[in-house]
Amino acid sequence: MKHRSEQQRERLNAHVFVCTNDREEHDCCAGAGGEEVTTAVKQWLRDRDAFWTAVSVSTTDCLGLCSADGAALTIQPRNEWYSDVTPEDVPDLLAAEFGPAAEQVADQVTSPADD
* Domain boundaries defined on the chain: 12-104
Q: What is the pLDDT of residue 109?
A: 41
Strand partners of residue 75: 16, 80
Instruction: Render pLDDT for 42-68 as a digit per residue (tens, 0 to 9).
Output: 999 999 988 877 889 999 999 999 899
Query: What local confidence, expressed as pLDDT, does residue 44 receive?
Result: 96
Torsion of CA 101, 106, 108, 113, to 10 degrees: -150
Cα angle value 90/45/19 (rounded, 5°): 50
Which band of pLDDT confidence, cut at 50, 70 and 90, is reported for residue 22? very high
Fold of 12-104: Glutaredoxin (3.40.30)
Q: Give 62-108 pLDDT, tens digit per residue.
A: 999 989 999 999 999 999 999 999 999 999 999 999 999 888 775 44
Q: Are 18 and 59 in contact (CB under 8 A)?
A: yes
Cα–Cα dist 64/75, whole Å: 14
3-state secondary structure string across 5-26:
HHHHHHHCCEEEEEECCCCCCC
